[in-house]
Amino acid sequence: MTKKLEELLNLPTSVSEDLAIEDSKDFIEQNQEILTEVDAAINKIDAALPLVQDLDAGDAELDELAKLAKDRFEDLVDLGMNVEPRFSGVILQTASTLLGHAITAKTAKMDKKLRTISLQLQKARLDQQIKKDAGKTKDDEEPIDGQGVVLDRNELLKHILGKNTK
């Protein structure tokens, strides 16, 4: 952006991209240890939860149906635009219905995945509770008991950056 545009629109002066890139690199270097700790924590969480299996079984069919509905929607819209206006209303309404079916197929696919993940989380929680009630795990270790806190992204970043400045 030129300086004249900045003055005309009352915008703050733009920072050189080289300076922004250098600042970013410095910030990453300073926080490399925290980033590796966060990556390790994410990897532990991924390893602790069992993988969701066989989600692709019905996904191919739902994808095929959604693609077919979208293709036929486009065909019907083209047809609806090329016929007399008195006939195009019904054709375009049918095209709209097909597009709704495509959206429904995609939504059903996502809902299936979310329900499966939810069930696996409930199973893991139940297994943890059973181990805790039994007192010991299979390897005669004490059960892990933790606390959870609900944070949004901004609060989490403030918490991480707050630990870094101390």
> Does the residue 1 lie in any domain?
no
143 in a structural domain? no
Q: Is residue 141 part of a domain?
A: no
Q: Give the residue ranges of DSSP H helices in 31-139.
A: 32-48, 59-82, 85-134
pLDDT at 81: 87
In a domain, 153, yes or no: no
Q: How many whole angstroms separate alpha carbon 33 and alpha carbon 29? A: 8
Segments forming the whole domain that contains residue 69? 58-136
Question: Residues 81, 118: one domain?
Answer: yes
pLDDT of the chain along its 166 residues, tens only? 567 767 777 777 765 555 556 766 776 677 777 767 777 777 777 676 656 555 566 777 778 888 888 888 888 888 888 888 888 888 888 888 888 888 888 888 888 888 888 888 888 888 888 877 776 545 556 656 677 778 888 888 888 888 766 5
Is residue 10 a part of any domain in this protein? no
- Indicate whether 13 belongs to any domain: no
Over its C-alpha atoms, the chain yields an Rg (Å, rounded) of 27
- Give the span between the Cα atoms of 67 and 59, in whole angstroms: 12
User: So what's the pLDDT on residue 46?
Assistant: 67
Q: What is the DSSP secondary structure assignment for residue 148, as one 8-state letter? A: -
pLDDT of res. 117: 86
Q: Are residues 83 and 39 in the same domain?
A: no
Same domain, 131 and 85: yes
Q: What is the token pair recorded at 57?
A: 């079984």
**Structural domains counted in the chain:** 2
Quick one: 43 and 63 in the same domain? no
Instruction: Report yes or no on 86 lying in a domain.
Output: yes
The answer on 41 and 68 residing in a single domain is no
Quick one: 82 and 102 in the same domain?
Answer: yes
pTM of the prediction?
A: 0.41
91 in the same domain as 41: no
Instruction: Count CB atoms within 10 A of the CB of residue 69.
Output: 21
